[in-house]
Amino acid sequence: MDMHAALSLGLPLGIGVAAIGSGIGLGLIGQGAMQAIGRQPEATGKIQLAMIIIAALAEALTIYAFVTMFLLQGKI
Amino acid sequence: MGLEFLARVRNTSTWLGGVMALMAATVVTPMLGLAFADGVLWSLVNLQLLERIVVPLTGPARGTPQATRSIASGLVGMLFLFAAGGMLLVLLPPAALVAGFVTPLAVIVVKAGTQILLGSRAWRAIVSHRWRSGFAALALATVTWFALGALTNAGGQPAGKPPGTTVSEQTHGAPPADAHGATRAEPTGEASQDASEHESGPKGFTNIIALVTSAFPHAPWAHFLEHYEVLVFSLLVALLLMFVAHRASRAPQLVPSGLQNGVEMVVEGLSEFIISIIGPKNGPRFVPFLGTLFIYILSMNLFGLIPFMHSPTSSLNVTVALALTVFVYVQYIGFKELGPLGWLDHMLGNPRDLTGWLLAPLMLPIHILGELAKPISLSCRLFGNIFGEDMLLVAFATLGITMLPFKQLPFGIPLHAIFFPLALLGSALQALVFTVLSSIYILLMLPHEHHDEHGQEGDAQHAH
């Protein structure tokens, strides 16, 4: 397997794996936030803010994989 | 089938032609879109002039001087119209022009056909029963499928390769045709290298600077514009925002209305939001910086959704510049608020006891790395999200163009329209995230309630 084949196989796969991870993370974050809002609807604003921040942190990991893909795509 | 019908035809063809021409211009080549739009416009003007001639001839006002004048003006207009049509046929790609010309006629035929069909007894017989109508729909879909396939095999092959799709370029194996290469969103020198050199990623929508560059391929200022494309667009956004702000605050009134009202609403909302994060004591000082950041980033994100525009934030250069601004500002705040010794103390992890001092050599590199990771993560997140959104739209627009067999004609389904809400949401969310994270970085640098926030910073560093 030469480098081109390895890259063209690995890049989409890498994004997929990263997306699985951050998907699980985002799901957990959303679940936690929804439960918290359900328990304490008055704190919706604060919870949503924290949720968005942590969701952005979790989502950033997929974005890193995405950026890596675009950096390496020229080499395929 | 009266004038009201014609008005409806006009509306439909205007919308249809506008959307199609826009898609062709932004996704395929600008010339194609222009030709299509011109064709539609020509046909619509033609219809209008025909109406001017036919209505006085057949209407109740027959023979009056007014009617005669109307007919004469219609005839003269026709003369000019045909001259213009001949000129357009020479100047622009004829296939797209003819396609645009046929569009209103096709709209007439389809509208009339549906009107006749909807009133007929056969239609009522089909619709009246559930199974019968389902079967009819299925048959229609099958026929459409096979017809499209036949059309693809028959007419789609010769030279019908839209730029931007590497698949068709690979199957044809030839470099892009000259007619396309000249109008493509790049200088001709690069177009010839396309076959040998691999493109890095799919191309974006055609934007206004690419148009200018293709119009003046040899002018040095056009190359300058193309090279600093994102800068030009971000400056454009900044100028736009400055203009709006100037207009809104030019003559401030005690009871605001209109633009001033809207801008005040935005500013108040942002101010409240940022103060709720940083705190009422220190918050108001940072509202101008963070609020500007939010509005600027949001506008830049949304700018790419306007046809012929380009999101500056879908380039890493702009986002790195923004993130570095935040980084420098945060360090400056730290130096100013804590003093050099206090800043060093913060970097050492606030050692107060023996364990703290023992851990301090370990904490220093961790803190420095954490500080350096902040701009990287901020810029990459913004860039990746906006760039990804743009690429998603481009991919689906290209799919909408290429899935139809008429590859040289600018017919396409605006498939990417379903992702506009997602793009709007993502743009707003990323601007919000950038602002919130920036304000949290500032908050972490401020002296008070330091220990409460430390756990959060640890979390943030783990995620990087």
The predicted-structure confidence for B277-306, as pLDDT tens digits, reads as follows 888 888 888 999 999 999 999 999 998 888
Q: The domain containing residue B415 runs over which residues?
A: 231-463
**B241 close to B300: Cβ distance less than 8 angstroms:** no
Question: Shortest CA distance to B111 belongs to which of B256, B237, B7, B218?
Answer: B7
Mean pLDDT on B149-169 = 48
**B190 close to B223: Cβ distance less than 8 angstroms:** no
**The predicted structure's pLDDT at residue B203:** 62
**The predicted structure's pLDDT at residue B220:** 79
**B128 close to B49: Cβ distance less than 8 angstroms:** no
For residues B53 and B65, what is the distance between their CA atoms, to the nearest angstrom? 13
Residues of A in contact with B432 (CB under 8 A): 52
Q: DSSP character for B24?
A: I
> What pTM does this model have?
0.74
| Range of lowest pLDDT (B41-45, B149-153, B320-324) | B149-153
**The predicted structure's pLDDT at residue B405:** 61
The answer to the question of residue B16 being in a domain is yes
The answer to the question of residue A6 being in a domain is no
Instruction: Evaluate if residue B113 carries a pLDDT over 60.
Output: yes
Residue B362: is it exposed, middle or buried by C-beta count within 10 angstroms (0-12/13-18/19+)? exposed
The answer to the question of residue B63 being in a domain is yes
**The predicted structure's pLDDT at residue B161:** 40
Q: The domain containing residue A22 runs over which residues?
A: 14-73
The answer to the question of residue A45 being in a domain is yes
Name every residue whose Cβ is closer than 8 Å to that of residue B130 and which is 6 or more positions away in sequence. none
Q: Are residues B373 and B236 in the same domain?
A: yes
Q: Do A67 and B385 touch (CB under 8 A)?
A: no
Q: Give the chain B residue whose CA is nearest to the CA of A76.
A: B198
Torsion of CA B391, A71, B191, B159, to 10 degrees: -50
CATH number at residue A26: 1.20.20.10
Q: Give the chain A residue whose CA is nearest to the CA of B381.
A: A60
Instruction: Evaluate if residue B323 carries a pLDDT over 90.
Output: yes
The answer to the question of residue B128 being in a domain is no
Whether chain A has a CB inside 8 Å of the CB on B206: the answer is: no
Of B92, B119, B146, the position where a domain reaches its end is B119
Residue among A66, A71, A72, A76 with most chain B CBs within 10 A, to mutate: A66
The answer to the question of residue A7 being in a domain is no
The answer to the question of residue A69 being in a domain is yes
Q: Of A63-72, B19-28, B265-274, where does the model show the most confidence?
A: B265-274
Q: Are residues B411 and B272 in the same domain?
A: yes
**The predicted structure's pLDDT at residue B409:** 64
Q: Do B460 and A70 touch (CB under 8 A)?
A: no
Instruction: Evaluate if residue B157 carries a pLDDT over 60.
Output: no
Q: Are residues B113 and B243 in the same domain?
A: no
Q: Do A53 and B384 touch (CB under 8 A)?
A: no
The predicted-structure confidence for B344-375, as pLDDT tens digits, reads as follows 888 887 777 888 788 888 888 888 888 888 89
